[in-house]
Copies of this chain bind each other. A is one copy, B any other.
């Protein structure tokens, strides 16, 4: 098997993982193309060809990736085709999108706490849950700060293991 074939296998594998993590199937496969392509930017046609999918499904996948900020439309280079590429901080964005989930969990917990007496065992459980997710939510910005400091500095050091 050629390297190229292995690459697309790895890409589909990644897409599967993303799908299990809650991402829509075609969006995940499309994202994988953006990651594994050997070009700087990609057009819808190229994605259609690579995934052997319909224009319709690719169109909506691109739309959703744009919406969540994982890819961006390139300023049209005079061509008739739209070009897209993976955004710089796509992975941090993907991670951050979990915040919405955490927020929702917090709200659900708060709603439950508001309607239970403190003697109710549920009150305790809900409070524990609430505290945990509140903690998480507070830690994430710090975490991303640390990441940006580690990856962005003007003297990019070598990350590889010894």
Interface digits, A95-117 against B, CB 8 Å rule (1 contact, 0 not)?
A: 10010010011011101100110
**How many chain copies does the complex carry?**
2
CB-contact partner of A122 in B38, B91, B122, B139, under 8 A: B38
Complex alpha-carbon distance, A104 and B122, angstroms: 35
Given A35-B126, A38-B120: A135 touches B111 (CB 8 Å cut-off): no
Tell me if A's interface is mostly helix, strand, loop or mixed: helix
| Size of A's binding interface in residues, CB under 8 A | 55
Complex alpha-carbon distance, A86 and B121, angstroms: 11
| Given A7-B122, A17-B104, 16 more pairs with CB closer than 8 A | A3-B115, A7-B115, A10-B108, A13-B104, A17-B105, A18-B105, A21-B22, A22-B22, A37-B121, A38-B122, A91-B133, A95-B136, A131-B159, A132-B151, A135-B147, A139-B143
